[in-house]
Structure 1
Amino acid sequence: MTKPEKIDTKEAAKLAALSPFELKDELIKAAGGGAVQRAANFSMLNAGRGNPNFVATIPRHGFWQLGLFAMRESERSFAYMPEGVGGFPKHEGLGERFELFLRENKGVQGIDFLASAVSYVRDQLGLSAGDFLYEVCEGILASNYPVPDRMLKLSEIIVGQYLRREMIGKHPFIGEFDLFAVEGGTAAMTYIFNTMRENHLIKPGDTIALGMPIFTPYIEIPRLNDYQLNVVSLNADVESHWQYSKAELDKLRDPKIKAFFLVNPSNPPSVKMNDESLQQIADIVKDRPDLILLTDDVYGTFADDFVSLFALAPKNTILVYSYSKYFGATGWRLGAIATHRDNVLDRLIAELPDNAKKELHARYESITTEPDKLKFIDRLVADSRTVALNHTAGLSTPQQVQMVLFSLFSLMDTPDAYKNALKRLIRSRKRALYEEVGISFDEADKNQVDYYTILDLEFLGERAYGRDFVDWMMKNTEPSEMLFRLAREARVVLLPGRGFGTPHPSGRVSLANLNESDYRKIGRAIRTLLADYVERYNVATGKTLDKNKVL
């Protein structure tokens, strides 16, 4: 490693104010320039973003074949017109024509999957195969508005079954839940914060709690002028494998806290909350039935035996799920919001003072004759289109069709072959990274998910070299110096853990978006950088720490 460039104090302050996702762009710039000599074949390794480099191919093949069938159905309606005009599919005889299509295309990628999907919908879910085919054909053609606007009728049932399998599993669950199909998890966050504010569930000056570390927008949104919320942090402890202590979770007993927002498994540590903590929150809710919980469980499908907080405290919990990571579908923008049909949100709205009820009655009276009875999840739909455009609300129908096919793909994969393949893939990448950094690889923690890994420099540095070394390093380096050195000198881009609310300087490594050999290169670069700081420490203090010591 070369002698590090000092970061200007004013520049450091500006960088510290950036979201980690914006700082990433500065790190990418740093990785692409400078006068440092590099091997010609050592291109930039960007482990800073969680976009996976894998995709689920089988349900995509099914999507394109379904599209061809739907086009054939459309062209039947106006076959007498040669100008390229099609119509809506016809329900009558649709199943027979689909069977003919399958026979004609036997052996083509995606055909067997479609045949199995229709069989599963009919035989396992007990739904009408004809109704299902009509819904997905019309949906993939995008020939009609989303009706119902919250989610297509059979699509909601199928996606609901997928979420039951992946988020609830074998845990007892009483009652039903509603779904709102949205443009990914980020849209879900935007809509939920907005509708909670519009319906007086949160207001400026209110207090919410965040489970830290957490996806950065959950930290940034409450600070915005739109919300101006006070935040209580519940801090997971790196020394306890990123779990929350009982004392931290007991902060939720404070009646000032209106809502608790959680990403589970966590981002960036990528650890699922243990069973004891989930149960403690469920017990707290019994004492605090007014507490609103939001759990963002996008990484749950990478965990072993995952159970969502939604399963343990369904009436108080908003579930947010995105298809982006598990199916390699960030560009599709597919997500869902789930609420139990008997939930605290509707109850709290019903208990609002008369002046607030009158205001909300006026807000929603243009879309329903009984605005006071409008459920929270339907208010989400209306607010997502500023109420006045509620009649054109809803996720685009081709997106909903792809969401349904992803769900059916997972539901039919009873041995979890796809899931286990992804787990093997990302865990082999983590092993490669840790071996090169020199960190002992602990596979015993059943709560590790490994979509990301976080390298906590204070924790690892103290474990390997002692507290004096860590104190010296903290005093003599800027918080982002090591990340910029990795970018400039090794062309490696990581995200700062502090941007996600970690207490110590750290780097988030996505294990989803590069190949195993790349993670070995990243590990070697990190090891070289740490060795350089150990050498500098030895020179400055006269000590003789072993720079090759295992972390």
Structure 2
Amino acid sequence: MDVRTLKEYETLSPFEIKDFLIKAALNTSKAASITYLNAGRGNPNWIATEPREAFFLLGQFAITESKRVLDLPAGVGGMPKAQGIADRLEGWLRGHRDSPGARFLEKMVPWTVKRFGFEPDKFVHELVDSIIGDNYPVPDRMLVHNEQIVHEYLQWAMCGNPRPQGTFKLYAVEGGTAAMCYIFKSMKANRLLNPGDTIALGVPIFTPYLEMPHLEDYDLKIVEICAPQENRFQFTDAELEKLLDPTIKAFFVVNPGNPSAMALNDETIQKIGGILKKRPNLILLTDDVYGTFVPGFRSLLGAYPRNTIGVYSYSKYFGCTGWRLGVIAVHDNNVFDEMIAKHPEPIQEKLGKRYGALTLEPRKLKFIDRIVADSRDIALNHTAGLSLPQQVMMTLFSVAEMMDEKKSYQQACIDIVTKRVHSTIEGLGIEVQENPNFDHYYGLIDLEFWMRKYVGDDVVSWVKANVHPLDIVFKLAEDHGIVLLNGGGFAAPDWSVRVSFANLNDDVYDDIGRAVRAVARGYAQAYQLATGKTVNVARRAADGTVTKAR
């Protein structure tokens, strides 16, 4: 595809360009009888089975509880009752012990009751009544038992060690997508971010964080805090020093990164702490969807809970993108409530009017509860909240992970993506150092970086002068039937591509690596034809060293 045509796609998100790539790749696959491979999607091709088995079996018990109260011939049942329900579930499970999910439920209920000090009937009734879905979510922010369970799960999944003191208030939402929308909306409504304000983004970053600030709704200015590949995708000191600018109101981070797949290391987290000592009211937002793929992961939420809004989604780890399960976390002791309380009187009056229908003392309304209300445009706050069956699934996923003391499920998931990464690297024919902060979920292949290393600066300079960066993903689609996303759309290097190691079978990733290498080889050959110069290709020796060869 010529440069002029490719320029037309420059304004599109990678996720919109993907649709054109899919069409081209499907045509190639059909015409050339080759396999169509879409590694642009982050949807995992595995699921967590045990908590799902428990969910569907629990639903069967819930129906018996409904019919126990009312069972009309027309198919009308009643609402499950709490008294004695834990004993009834225990007895019912004894009679269904061979059913998938029964043994998990038999262990899960007493384990959870003991761990959290729950009253058995109240806990089981929350599960049963919620899986039926016969009530509105109450409390609207999150069910009582579910919040305590997820709070403990997030201490492992996000916070890490040392465990932060105090308590987080949680809002169960429809995945990380909803979390982003609700947070942006409420930060604007509460004048924490105003049109014309400046925020910082840790880049590369998930594209909506680049796109949403420019919407007329928010009209925010962006400063990019870069984590270069040369620094193993950690923020440099010079980049972090940008955060000392008092006009920057907030710093948004995806950790581990998307598309870099690299978690912040301890040194970087400590440096951000140094920034907060000088700027104690700097707002941090951390989106930690992939943290569970890094053993010992540590989030900014765990390190600096006072300044941080946490976003977590269950989608990737448990293979449940269709369930739409996410959480917003805000610590009890936070800068957001303090900043809202310090607004001048005219703003306080406007906010009082906004939230006045919800409480007699709107000025005391916590930021997390404002997010809930804003998510339903205030007037529908009384029907806010994540659907109750979704919250039951969230409970079961969380408890399943906490009961797994050996972390067998976590290791199995990590093994899946790690194997695929190694296959891709083998296909690429490059040498990559291991990194304990790498989550292996995505990979960012920077052709400029690797071509500079293996074929030299002259080739890279010629390619950048004569080829459009989007040519890479279109060549992969048109010549190889492969869909990857362009890295430039994530504020990653223009000559990079993002590959997902989550959504395709193990045996195709070496093919993807070879296809990317073939595209790079084609550029080197084009350079030779255009210049008449010979390209000296670096070879990788058995010991990993790189030498030049003809």
Scaled to the shorter chain, the TM-score interval is: over 0.9
Provide the residue aligned with 2:12 in structure 1: 18
Provide the residue aligned with 2:21 in structure 1: 27
Provide the residue aligned with 1:72 in structure 2: 64
Q: CA offset at residue 169 of structure 1?
A: 2.6
Q: Distance in 1 between matches of 2:160 and 2:188?
A: 32
SS state of the match for residue 314, structure 1? coil
SS state of the match for residue 488, structure 1? helix
Provide the residue aligned with 1:333 in structure 2: 324
8 Å CA contact retained: 2:85, 2:121 = yes
Distance 1:276 1:548, change over 3 A: closer
Provide the residue aligned with 2:486 in structure 1: 496
Distance 1:48 1:35, change over 3 A: closer
Q: Distance in 2 between matches of 1:19 and 1:530?
A: 24
Q: Distance in 1 between matches of 2:233 and 2:131?
A: 42
SS state of the match for residue 295, structure 1? strand
Distance 1:378 1:35, change over 3 A: closer
SS state of the match for residue 91, structure 1? coil
Provide the residue aligned with 2:308 in structure 1: 317
Q: CA offset at residue 30 of structure 1?
A: 1.1
Please tell me whether residue 452 in structure 1 is matched to residue 452 in structure 2: no
Q: Distance in 2 between matches of 1:215 and 1:152?
A: 30
How many residue pairs match? The answer is 541
Please tell me whether residue 431 in structure 1 is matched to residue 425 in structure 2: no
8 Å CA contact retained: 1:495, 1:509 = yes
Corresponding residue to 1:195 among 183, 186, 210 = 186
8 Å CA contact retained: 2:44, 2:502 = yes
Q: CA offset at residue 521 of structure 1?
A: 1.5
Please tell me whether residue 61 in structure 1 is matched to residue 53 in structure 2: yes
SS state of the match for residue 363, structure 1? helix
Provide the residue aligned with 2:357 in structure 1: 366
8 Å CA contact retained: 2:45, 2:319 = yes
- Structure 2: which amino acid aligns with 1:534? A
Q: Distance in 2 between matches of 1:59 and 1:373?
A: 39
The one-character-per-residue Cα deviations of 1:144-196 (angstroms, maximum 9, x if unpaired) are: 00000000011000000100122123314111110000000010000000000
Q: CA offset at residue 241 of structure 1?
A: 1.0
Provide the residue aligned with 1:463 in structure 2: 453
8 Å CA contact retained: 1:457, 1:504 = no
SS state of the match for residue 323, structure 2? coil
Q: CA offset at residue 503 of structure 1?
A: 3.1
SS state of the match for residue 219, structure 2? coil
8 Å CA contact retained: 2:28, 2:480 = no
SS state of the match for residue 315, structure 1? coil
Please tell me whether residue 177 in structure 1 is matched to residue 168 in structure 2: yes
8 Å CA contact retained: 1:534, 1:547 = no
Q: Distance in 2 between matches of 1:69 and 1:548?
A: 64
Q: Distance in 2 between matches of 1:402 and 1:172?
A: 25
Corresponding residue to 1:126 among 80, 104, 117 = 117
Q: Distance in 1 between matches of 2:203 and 2:236?
A: 12
- Structure 1: which amino acid aligns with 2:327? A
Provide the residue aligned with 2:2 in structure 1: 6
Q: Distance in 2 between matches of 1:88 and 1:255?
A: 55
Q: CA offset at residue 35 of structure 1?
A: 10
Q: Percent identity?
A: 50
Q: CA offset at residue 14 of structure 1?
A: 2.5
8 Å CA contact retained: 2:112, 2:118 = yes
- Structure 2: which amino acid aligns with 1:31? A
- Please give the TM-score of this superposition, normalised by the length of structure 2: 0.96
The one-character-per-residue Cα deviations of 1:497-536 (angstroms, maximum 9, x if unpaired) are: 1100113311000000001111111112112222222212
Distance 1:35 1:284, change over 3 A: closer
SS state of the match for residue 259, structure 1? strand
Q: Distance in 2 between matches of 1:67 and 1:36?
A: 44
Instruction: Identify unmatched segments of 5+ residues in structure 1.
Output: none
Q: CA offset at residue 542 of structure 1?
A: 2.4
Provide the residue aligned with 1:298 in structure 2: 289
Provide the residue aligned with 1:116 in structure 2: 107
Q: CA offset at residue 13 of structure 1?
A: 2.8
The one-character-per-residue Cα deviations of 1:364-386 (angstroms, maximum 9, x if unpaired) are: 01011110100000000000000
8 Å CA contact retained: 2:233, 2:260 = yes
Q: Distance in 1 between matches of 2:35 and 2:454?
A: 30
Provide the residue aligned with 1:418 in structure 2: 409
Please tell me whether residue 514 in structure 1 is matched to residue 504 in structure 2: yes
Corresponding residue to 1:476 among 457, 466, 473 = 466
Which shows bigger deviation, 498-507 or 352-361? 498-507
Which shows bigger deviation, 290-299 or 534-543? 534-543
Q: Distance in 1 between matches of 2:80 and 2:362?
A: 35
The one-character-per-residue Cα deviations of 1:434-493 (angstroms, maximum 9, x if unpaired) are: 1011111422x1111110000011111101111111111111111111110110110000
Provide the residue aligned with 1:384 in structure 2: 375
8 Å CA contact retained: 1:531, 1:547 = no
The one-character-per-residue Cα deviations of 1:337-362 (angstroms, maximum 9, x if unpaired) are: 00000111100000001000000000
Provide the residue aligned with 2:518 in structure 1: 528
Provide the residue aligned with 2:543 in structure 1: none
Provide the residue aligned with 1:230 in structure 2: 221
The one-character-per-residue Cα deviations of 1:52-85 (angstroms, maximum 9, x if unpaired) are: 1111111100100111111110111113x21111
SS state of the match for residue 76, structure 2? coil
Please tell me whether residue 47 in structure 1 is matched to residue 43 in structure 2: no
SS state of the match for residue 234, structure 1? strand
- Structure 2: which amino acid aligns with 1:30? A
The one-character-per-residue Cα deviations of 1:290-319 (angstroms, maximum 9, x if unpaired) are: 111000000000012101101111010000
Q: Distance in 2 between matches of 1:529 and 1:211?
A: 29
Q: How does 1:99-110 map to 2 (within 5 A)?
A: 99-110=90-101
Instruction: Identify unmatched segments of 5+ residues in structure 2.
Output: 541-545
